[in-house]
Each structure stands twice: as C-alpha cells, then as structure tokens.
Amino acid sequence: MSARTCHRAGKRRGAIVVYLVASMVVLAGFAALAVDAGRLYLGKTELQVAADAAALAGANELLNERRIHGLGELAIIFQVARQRAGAVAGSNPVLGIGPQIDYNPANAADGDLVIGYLPHLYNTGESISLLDPTEFNAVKVRVRRDETYNGSVALMFARALGIETADLVAEATAAFHFGIIGFRVTPETGNASLMPLTLRETCWDTLMGTLAGENSVYEDNWAYDPLTEHVTPGQDGLPELNLYPGSGEGQLPPGNFGTIDIGGSNNSTADIVRQLLDGVSAEDLEYHGGELNLSDGPIVLAGDTGLSAGMADALEAIVGQTRTIPLFSEVSGVGDTSMFTIVRFVGVRIMHVRLTGAMNKKCVMLQPALAVDDAAIPGDGDTSTNVYHPVCLVR
C-alpha cells in the first residue's frame, strides 16, 4: 500500500471514530433526557394520585350527617372537608415530598381547593356553582409542584440544555348525586337499603319541621354516637318519630302498621325480616320491573297486616344503622288490602324498638339520618331527602 493510500485510509478511520464518538454523545444525551422525562412522568402520576385521593376524601366529608341540622352546621363541615383533603394529599408523596395544598378558605372559584355544587356530575364543560352552600356536593383539588407550592421538580441532565427545573400540576373533582329517584340492584351495587316499612309524608314533614324549630310535635329522647355507633337514652339534636303503632296525624289505616310488599304480594314475615336485615334484593325488585323508580310518578305498593313481634329481633338488630324508608301521600283499604301511594324516599335511623307489652308502650322510634346507597338511582326532582349515591371521581 502506498503512503498516499495509507494516509487516505487513516483519515477515513479517523472520521469514523469521530462519528462514533459524536453518536455516542448524542445517544448519551437522549438517554439522559429520558431519565428526566421518566422522573417527570412519575411525578405527574403521583401528583394525580394525590389529587384524586384528596378530592375523594374531601367530598366524603361533605356527606357528614351534621348537614341534616341545616345551614348552621355547614361552615364546620366545609372546614373539616378542607382539612381532610389537605391531610390526604400530604400523605401521598410526590417524588418523595408530601405535597401541601392551598386550603382556599375564602372558596375563590380559581383556588386550589374549591367546594361547590355540580348539578350534572359528568358534564366537564359545567363550572362548579358557589351560589347555594346547602347544595354543595363537589370538591375540586389542585395539587402542584412549582415555585409556590412544594417546589419545582429539579432536573438532572436537562441542565446541560439550560433547563434546571420543571413545574407539575394535577387536578381532580369528586362529587355525589342529589335527587335520588329510586333504587336498582345489580351485582356491583349489592342490595338496596330500603326497608319494607312506610311513613306518611305529612308526618315526616312535621318531624323535619320540629328539627328546624318550626314546631315542637316530636321530642328528642334518644342519642346516636357516631364513634361507637351505639344508641342510648339522651339527646343528640335530632327528634324521633314513632313509626309503630303510628305517630298520630292519621299515620296508618286500621289493621296495618306500616309494612309494605316490596317484591311479591303478601310477603311473609320471613321476607320482611330478610329485607330489614339485608335490604331489598334484585329478586325482590324483579316484581316491579327491576327497579322502584319515581321518575314517571308515584308508585303504588300493597300493605301487609303489620309489624309482628316476630320482626322485633330484626328491628333491634339494626338499631343505630341507617336505612331508607318510602313515604306515602295517600292510602286506601285496611289491613293487608291497603294500597300505599309512594312519593318520596328518606334516610332514617332506627333508634329504639319495643313490640311487646301494652299497645301504648309499643314503638319503633326513628330519626332523620343520612343514607348513602350504591343502589340509589340519581335523577332530577325533589323525590328524596337525606339519601345519596356514593362519592365518585367525576373529573
């Protein structure tokens, strides 16, 4: 090989080496940037987890039974909801840091934690309304890692390109449905919390009037402790109504003490006991076309002969538990020929049961309570009180 040929070959080998080195540098640069990109992806994922969990926790706090007491309790409920959302956000680390959020106590619409009302939960173009606190059913949470909150994410290799940090943000909104119009049982929901008992609508309205201070018809003689879930004699701020053998005001017709047939006609005591303990099943609702639904108007249900001592154990077993009870506006017939026109559903808690002894000593005492039920059917209209579908992420 001539000297000139060797020189040309050497130049080619040198060029190849330079090219390979340059390629390795470029690949190393891409690999370094990929490390930063992976870190940002992880941070964004963890940030979304924190926002989701915080929104769910805050919205669940809105389903606090103290909202039954009215407007005066809402400020406390909202404060607790903010604190709970913040605590849950902080317990979900983002790139090793428990994120803090702005609690936005003034509830500004552009704040990082907003409590308000969503009439249509899945309409993403609809803004949260802040007009009526009694309707608030949604919590929106924004969690950030930027210069203002929790610090921007430091980058490792992008600094070579002059990029030292990156900002991340995630939002989530959780809410629950108002306006329950009925109940449908599926394998996912489990049985409905409906009781096979009914109450006259005017009696319920009077009970709620007593709670609001509009009258003093009903008394508060039993207290529920949410920490122990026990009921004891005393006061808890919620008046009770005697469902059995009636609460005056023409509550029930002769020979009927409020039991109704949800399912086949002439339900046995065993059927009623099962529904009291375990709720209404899909098989029960098949008799009504698969669901009880007030969207097309009132529902007419047949009555039974009444509460028997054989049902006492079942009722006593659910003392302190929340259930849903149908309200009727009209009733015809007597005994097991009674026909009840069902117009609303309300949340209640059984407080005290006595089905033995003298007639004037028998009672099934209930108070207003907040019932949350997977089997509840959301809809429009004023067909339920204190009955809700569970909280879910909607945005």
Lowest-confidence segment of 74-78, 122-126, 282-286 by average pLDDT: 122-126
Does 158 score more than 90 pLDDT?
no
The 10s digit of each residue's pLDDT in 311-343 is 889 999 999 999 999 999 998 887 778 899 999
Whether residues 170 and 284 fall in one domain: no
**Residue of 154 and 60 predicted with greater confidence:** 60
Q: Which two tokens stand for residue 159?
A: 């600094």
The 10s digit of each residue's pLDDT in 265-276 is 767 888 899 999
pTM of the model: 0.83
**Pick from 350, 92, 381, 357: which is nearest to 229 by CA?**
350
Q: Of the segments 24-28, 217-221, 300-304, which one has the largest average pLDDT value?
A: 217-221
Whether residues 203 and 271 fall in one domain: yes
Lowest-confidence segment of 14-28, 145-159, 278-292 by average pLDDT: 14-28
Q: Which two tokens stand for residue 143?
A: 């969690």
Axis-axis angle for helices 3-62, 74-90 (nearest 10): 150
**Residue of 362 and 89 predicted with greater confidence:** 89
Question: What pLDDT band is residue 250 in, cutting at 50, 70 and 90?
Answer: low
Residue 271 sits at φ, ψ, to 5 deg, of -65, -45
Question: What pLDDT band is residue 159 in, cutting at 50, 70 and 90?
Answer: low
Whether residues 142 and 234 fall in one domain: no
Q: Of the segments 152-161, 206-215, 334-343, which one has the largest average pLDDT value?
A: 206-215
The pLDDT score that the predictor gives to residue 100 is: 95
Is residue 54 within 8 A of residue 141, CB to CB? The reply is: yes
Whether residues 167 and 211 fall in one domain: no
Whether residues 145 and 234 fall in one domain: no
Whether residues 288 and 358 fall in one domain: yes
Question: What pLDDT band is residue 22 in, cutting at 50, 70 and 90?
Answer: very low
Whether residues 326 and 291 fall in one domain: yes
Whether residues 112 and 244 fall in one domain: no
- Given CA atoms 319, 323, 329, 331 in this order, what sign does their dihedral have? negative
Count of the separate structural domains present in the chain = 2
Domain containing 136 equals: 3-175
Burial (0-12, 13-18, 19+ Cβ within 10 Å), 75 = exposed
172 forms beta bridges with 141
The pLDDT score that the predictor gives to residue 347 is: 97
Whether residues 75 and 102 fall in one domain: yes
> What string of DSSP letters covers 213-237?
TS--SS---EEEETTTTEEEES--S
Give the rounded distance of the alpha carbon of 308 from its chain centre. 35
Whether residues 304 and 193 fall in one domain: yes
Q: End of a domain among 175, 202, 236? A: 175
Q: End of a domain among 145, 175, 205? A: 175
Whether residues 338 and 254 fall in one domain: yes
Does 358 score more than 60 pLDDT?
yes
Whether residues 166 and 198 fall in one domain: no
The pLDDT score that the predictor gives to residue 245 is: 59
User: Whole-angstrom Cα distance, residue 359 to residue 71?
Assistant: 39
Question: What pLDDT band is residue 19 in, cutting at 50, 70 and 90?
Answer: very low
The pLDDT score that the predictor gives to residue 256 is: 60
Q: End of a domain among 130, 148, 175? A: 175
Lowest-confidence segment of 184-188, 250-254, 285-289 by average pLDDT: 250-254
The amino acid occupying position 87 is A
**Residue of 28 and 157 predicted with greater confidence:** 157
**Pick from 106, 104, 107, 101: which is nearest to 129 by CA?**
107
The pLDDT score that the predictor gives to residue 33 is: 62
H/E stretch holding 6 reads helix 3-62
Is residue 306 within 8 A of residue 340, CB to CB? The reply is: no
User: Whole-angstrom Cα distance, residue 49 to residue 110?
Assistant: 21
Number of H helices, E strands in the chain: 6, 20
